[in-house]
Amino acid sequence: MTIRRAGPGDEAELTAMIHELAAFERASHECTVTESQLRTALFGDSPVLHGHIAEVDGQAAAGALWFLNFSTWDGVAGIYLEDLFVRPQFRRRGLARALLSTLARECADNGYSRLSWAVLDWNVDAIALYDSVGGRPQNEWITYRVSGPELSALASS
């Protein structure tokens, strides 16, 4: 297994993994990202996304896509893990844990105060992994999102 930073040319595999993750999460119809969009987000003039790829025998087996957030209380940045996906044929090999460890090192090396993410409440395998690495659910917080027509309405109000 090798874990490396995503580089130009990896957008095809990462886009495929995003669509595979959407299917796993039973939301394929909501996933519209294209390779071009991902290329711009990762490698454009002002990148807003970072990524890592785990390879097994030269094959893209897993990926992590993340971005920086900022803690106003700590006064430093942190990492928000947007997607972590291990392709089914590569599961149970420690790839997800290795990617989390890589992101934790990214935090430590850069003085970031935290690594955070969200998980669907039915994904018991992922929850077990996150519990095992010391992750703690933030049950006192309720996540909100506004998008689509509601976002447009709010913007024009």
Give the tokens for residue 103.
């992101």
pTM greater than 0.85: yes
Provide the pLDDT confidence category of residue 57 given band limits of 50, 70 and 90: very high
What pLDDT does 46 receive? 97
Helix (H, G, I), strand (E, B) or coil at 38: helix
pLDDT, one tens digit per residue, over 102-147 is 999 999 999 999 999 999 999 999 999 999 999 999 999 999 999 9
Residue 53 near residue 12 (C-beta atoms within 8 A): no
Average pLDDT of every residue of the chain: 97
What pLDDT does 157 receive? 96
Domains plus CATH for the chain? 2-155 (3.40.630.30)
- Name the residue type at position 14: L
Give the tokens for residue 2.
């090798």
Rounded-to-integer distance, Cα 140 and Cα 132, Å: 20
Size of the chain in residues: 157
